[in-house]
Amino acid sequence: MARKTVKRAFKYRFYPTGAQAAELSRTFGCVRLVYNKALAARTRAWYQNRERIGYNATSAMLTGWKKTENLAFLAEVSSVPLQQALRHLQQGFSHFFAGRACYPRFKSRKKSRASAEYTSSAFRYRDGKLTLAKMSEPLAIVWSRPLPAGAAPSTVTVSRDAVGRWFVSLLCEDTVESSPAPHDAVGVDAGITSLVTLSTGEKVTNPRHERADRARLARAQRALSRKQTGSANQARARTRVARVHARIADRRKDFLHKLTTRLVRENQVVVIEDLTVRTMVRNRGLARAISDAAWSDMRSMLEYKAAWYGRELVVVDRFFPSTRLCSVPGCGHVHERLPLDVRVWTCPRCGAVHDRDVNAANNLRAAGLAVSACGAGVRPRREPSRTGLSASKQEGRGATRDGANAPDHR
């Protein structure tokens, strides 16, 4: 049984005292202010002088801001979360220049998550008690699960959601045991009616968490729309709406964690299809259901859990016709057209009757095994008229191990 040391965040809920809540709220506001001012300064420097300024320059600006009369209150909170906000901004620009993300956006007081990150110099963790800088008492944390034995948190992130719940996340080193998988590989076809269909023939029903609470959410939103702008009643109604959203998100995340953990532990190779949800949600008829399915969250969970447990995640190219390709060995017939309402189809070449989703999962498994074995492209040749590329160039854009950011069109 192999052991692997990984960085892992342990998230807990806590209940601050009045003084702690006030201190953290001030810190959240200062973090947001520093982030926005630094972003504005970097944007202005580029558009006015074509000058790129980095973390060191913004850190010097922060020192100057603290000495001004209008921003002297920045010195009243811990300096570590403010410096971390500048580092996060630098990371955002690095992702932007590398083409991995959009241009950093300003943080909103109402829409952005209120959070602050503390490094080891700004907190003390002893005997199961966590005390943050500028505080005299430890946080009242509900330890719903133990930290790893002898764990020493490297960073602590405190956050507050829209409902008003307080959370603390401790980043620690943890040892993960990777045992041999019972199965060699599984193809996973994502869907809406069935959240996933496995190449084993199993279909996992989509819980549709948003649809289950849709009536409750609609009532809360109608009540919010009737409240006077800026009133206390509107604030309470907004919290009720946020509470419904939090209930949906928590249940969805819990279900996805259990599903992805099971898939990774039971299979050595997990094969999924490259789905670009951003493009797919443009379909107004399916946008709500696709968002509720949270395919992007499921993929991200599979990615880091596969890395933890020593498994292999293979992401097949979006143009691979997994649904229309006959999965019978030796057949290889590609059906010309298969509308979404056709759930079962018969191969005209071999006469096999296919369940649409199971057939796709089987094809994904076969494609993933081919990539895992030799890294070869797996998509059949397509007509140049469809893509504008020659057949040889199309074959070069097959399944990938790390996945491509592109939409799925079937």
One-letter identity of residue 354? H
Catalytic hit among 189, 274, 303, 408: 189
Give the residue among 274, 257, 359 at the shortest CA–CA distance from 308: 257
Angle at 383 between CA 377 and CA 388, to 5 degrees: 90
Distance CA 205, CA 32 (A): 41
> What does the DSSP assignment read for 119-170?
EGGGEEEETTEEEETT-SS---EE-SSPPPTT---SEEEEEE-TT--EEEEE
Distance CA 395, CA 234 (A): 57
Question: Cα(241)–Cα(234) distance, rounded to whole angstroms?
Answer: 11
Contact partners, residue 237, CB within 8 Å, separation at least 6: 220, 223, 224, 227
Residue 4 carries which DSSP code? E
Alpha carbons within 13 angstroms on the beta-carbon side of residue 87 total: 10
> Long-range CB contacts (< 8 A, 24+ apart) of 124-133?
125/152, 125/153, 125/156, 125/170, 130/156, 130/168, 130/170, 132/78, 132/156, 132/158, 133/78, 133/80
Phi, psi of 244 (to 5 degrees): -65, -45
Known catalytic residue: 402?
no
Give me the DSSP letters along 175-198: EEEEPPPSEEEEEEEE-SSEEEEE
> Is 189 considered catalytic here?
yes
Instruction: Give the C-alpha distances (Å, rounded to integers) separating 4 from 176, 178, 227, 331.
Output: 5, 8, 54, 42
239 and 224 in contact (C-beta within 8 Å)?
A: no
Q: Which of 303, 317, 357, 408 is catalytic?
A: 357
Question: Could you give the C-alpha distances from 398 to 27, 35, 235, 365, in angstroms and in order?
Answer: 48, 41, 51, 14
The catalytic residue among 273, 274, 317, 408 is 273
Residue 357 bears catalytic tag: yes
- What distance in Å separates the CA atoms of residue 59 and residue 326, rounded to the nearest whole number? 59
Residues labelled as active-site residues: 189, 273, 357
